[in-house]
Amino acid sequence: MLALKLQNLFLMLLKFKFCKRLSLLMIISFLSLNHCKSSKVSKKKDYTKSKPIVKPSEETTLSIKIIDYAKQFQGVRYKFGGTTKKGMDCSGLVHESFSAYNIQLPRISRDMAKRGKKISLNTVIPGDLLFFKTKNKRNAINHVGLVIAISSGNIKFIHATTSKGVIISSLAENYWNNSFAEARRIL
């Protein structure tokens, strides 16, 4: 097919008495364009053999829901014993967030620290709880936060502080890093 096209082109050029060199140059150009790599038809991908969709586990989905529930309280002022948008304390935030999904935890942070499984900090995932001893006289756990994200080893958690209310903090902050006591997995 290609040879026939070339032959016809060559004969046509000779009929019009073009220069032989020009004819040869046009034929070479035609051949080079016809075999250009970019002119090849791309292969279509076969999307029928796609990888199976991996669904998040029930625990992961539940963790996300609990975290989202807790985040709705961001900016709420601190109130000792509080469990509503009118005022919230740290254990109230965690208690209400888990309770919204029928997971009952004690109302006090030091009692929460007896639930679930104690885990190392390097295995923490969103939905886990962080417990702190914030320089109190009894040297006991008196603060809790809910892990919401981990990025490059930086653990972010939501909690309620007496000075700023419900906020998101990082365990990389000196105060929280120095006060950290343990981490626990509830789910």
Residues assigned a catalytic role:
90, 143, 159
| End-to-end CA gap in the chain | 70
Q: What sign does the CA torsion over 178, 179, 180, 181 have? A: positive
CA dihedral 147, 122, 154, 67 (to 10 degrees): -10
Q: Are 160 and 88 in contact (CB under 8 A)?
A: yes
CA distance 114 to 35: 74
> What single-letter amino acid sits at 35?
H
State which H helix or E strand residue 130 sits in. strand 129-132
State both tokens at 21. 């060199």
**Helix H or strand E segment including 34:** helix 20-34
